[in-house]
């Protein structure tokens, strides 16, 4: 915090606490230290529709707190002029552990993510100079930028830094699963059976404790011809990456309907059945672990569903600091 003292900022630092059992985060907090003033500014920006062309689509319109910061019960999110986003909006939590962003890894920084959403014609459909002009005309924003950064100047870099301070604070690590791991709770018999099934059938890709290994994989979903989304290959141009998407975290899975990169499944039980009922589409890039599908009987499926529900974090979901 020496740099902050030199600028004369009267700020309130926030310590980023790594939850028990979690690895060290990937994000460099040294480049953007968390402060209460930055967090509150980022929160205001996150819920402000004025970042979009018609003021109707704030970040929170696609990333809704009630649904662990995804779009509540929608396959793909709505955007400007009644358009739809290309993909199902992922839940926003534990972002600090990502080294690249978007489901195809197309963004190397969070700044790229924000700029991409603001300027995408099917999402917020605005341009950054216009957003900055809007914010600069607001006296309350001037005061908040001054409190966070030392003066009233509103810049693209500062806007993104504040948004990141809010988004990076969305840490989910207090589910029943976490409490069991900390010795504060116990699984019931069905949940324990489901955990055993999970460890045997799912953990290779959905690695604990993040419940993702952050790799890109083809999980055998047939391509939607209306979207023509080839996933990671859109970024790399490499045919070996065709139809590969980042393995999603299973945390809060019970809260984040719909499922699949394009939200084609309304319940995560249907997503499980995709793996067990022969719905996997064979292609050259199909993940080898799924060549023969997953052998899970009905009892194991029920148990797996029960276990996945232990990954829901009501503390995170109901945290008033994350609500408007």
Which residue positions form the known binding site for heme c? 59, 62-63, 202, 205-206
SS3 content of the chain, % helix, strand, coil (to 5): 45, 5, 50
Helices (H), the chain: 2-7, 36-46, 59-62, 110-119, 128-136, 139-149, 156-168, 176-181, 189-201, 233-236, 268-276, 298-309, 314-317
84: Cβ contacts below 8 Å, ≥ 6 apart: 76, 77, 78, 122
CA angle, residues 143, 148, 154, in degrees to nearest 5: 60
Report phi then psi at 133, rounded to 5: -65, -40
User: Can you say which residues are annotated as belonging to the binding site?
Assistant: 59, 62-63, 202, 205-206
- Residues pairing with 208 in the sheet: none
Nearest to 84 by CA among 227, 230, 261: 227
Cα 117 to Cα 318: distance, rounded to the nearest angstrom: 26
Q: What are residue 265's DSSP bridge partners?
A: 259
- Which residues partner with 216 through β-bridges? 246
Q: Identify which of 121, 140, 135 has the alpha carbon closest to the alpha carbon of residue 57.
A: 121
**Half-sphere exposure (CA, 13 Å, Cβ side) for 289?**
11
CA atoms within 13 A on the CB side of 158: 21
Residue 177 CB: number of other CB atoms within 10 A? 25
């Amino acid at each position: 915090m020496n740099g902050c003292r030199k600028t004369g900022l009267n700020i309130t630092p926030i310590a980023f606490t790594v939850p028990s059992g979690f690895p060290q985060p990937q994000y460099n907090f040294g480049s953007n230290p968390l402060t209460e003033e930055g967090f509150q500014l980022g929160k205001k920006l996150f819920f402000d529709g004025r970042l979009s062309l018609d003021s109707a689509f704030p970040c929170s319109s696609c990333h809704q707190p009630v649904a662990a910061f995804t779009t509540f019960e929608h396959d793909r999110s709505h955007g400007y002029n009644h358009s739809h986003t290309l993909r199902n909006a992922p839940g926003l939590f534990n972002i600090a552990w990502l080294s690249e962003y978007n489901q195809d890894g197309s963004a190397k920084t969070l700044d790229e993510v924000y700029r991409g959403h603001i300027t995408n014609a099917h999402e917020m459909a605005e341009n950054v100079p216009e957003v900055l002009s809007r914010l600069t005309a607001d006296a309350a924003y001037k005061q908040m930028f001054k409190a966070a950064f030392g003066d009233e100047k509103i810049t693209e870099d500062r806007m993104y830094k504040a948004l990141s301070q809010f988004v990076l604070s969305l840490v989910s690590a207090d589910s029943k699963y976490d409490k069991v791991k900390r010795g504060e709770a116990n699984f019931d018999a069905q949940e324990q059976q489901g955990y055993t099934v999970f460890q045997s059938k799912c953990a290779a890709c959905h690695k604990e404790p993040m419940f993702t290994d952050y790799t890109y994989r083809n999980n055998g979903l047939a391509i939607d011809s209306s979207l023509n989304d080839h996933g990671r290959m859109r970024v790399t141009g490499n045919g070996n990456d065709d139809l590969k998407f980042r393995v999603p975290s299973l945390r809060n899975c019970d809260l984040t309907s719909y499922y699949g990169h394009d939200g084609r499944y309304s319940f995560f039980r249907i997503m499980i059945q995709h793996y067990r009922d022969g719905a996997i589409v064979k292609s050259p890039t199909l993940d080898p672990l799924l060549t023969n599908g997953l052998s899970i009987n009905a009892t194991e499926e029920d148990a797996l569903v029960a276990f996945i529900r232990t990954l829901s974090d009501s503390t995170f979901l109901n945290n008033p600091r994350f609500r408007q």
